Amino acid sequence: MKIALINENSQAAKNELIYTTLKNVVEPLGHTVYNYGMYTAEDKTQLTYVQNGILAAILLNSGAVDYVVTGCGTGEGAMLACNTFPGVICGHVVDPSDAYMFAQINDGNAISLPFAKGFGWGAELNLEYIFEKLFSCESGQGYPKERVIPEQRNKKILDEVKKVAYHDLITILKNIDQDLLKGAISGEKFSEYFFENCKDEEIKEFIKGLLA
């Protein structure tokens, strides 16, 4: 699995801690982490939580990654931004039980974490346990186990509803504020990681045009 880490400006100083913790948990499981920044609070590219959602949608809908780990101060704004877009099912995860139940019940492809609220003593341990519960076993297997059939059915229903509830991503990208969009894809490593892994030619060509 290809996992993207995206941090917005208010919590960018924690990027290295989050990245290292995520990498240490998931790489032994065979997953790869792509750190899309922000890397420090002083980065030239300053991402807002809204731009986290835009970037997450581009990465997931293009197949450049399979999963997005993001967040903001409370985790709420980044979650709402992610869920604004098609092809993204983002959960708000505070602790390991949230991570496990979101993975098993909702089978999403993104999480938003609170990187300021409650982020004190043992924060890196909480992150480690969250990532373990999220990525160490196959998702969508139900919790509790006797609920697996209705939960899997509801996930399929949600997927179908999302298909008709949104415009396609290219239409959205054409109509969204272009400065906001260009800011979301102007990170230091974006072009290197995105074009190496993108599987959707239409999205790839559109992004190339924006960056030209």
pLDDT, tens digit (0-9, with 9 covering 90-100), for 43-59: 999 999 999 999 999 99
CB 78 within 8 A of CB 116: no
pLDDT of residue 90: 98
Top-confidence residue, 70 or 212: 70
pTM: 0.96
pLDDT tens per residue across span 104-132: 999 999 999 999 999 999 999 999 999 99
Report the pLDDT value the prediction gives residue 133, as an integer from 0 to 100.
97
CATH code where residue 160 lies: 3.40.1400.10
Name the domain count of the chain.
1
Q: Give the range of the structural domain holding residue 57, as residue numbers without chain letter.
A: 2-211
Work out the number of other CB atoms within 10 angstroms of the CB of residue 144: 10
Q: Provide the pLDDT for residue 86.
A: 97
Mean pLDDT of 169-181: 97
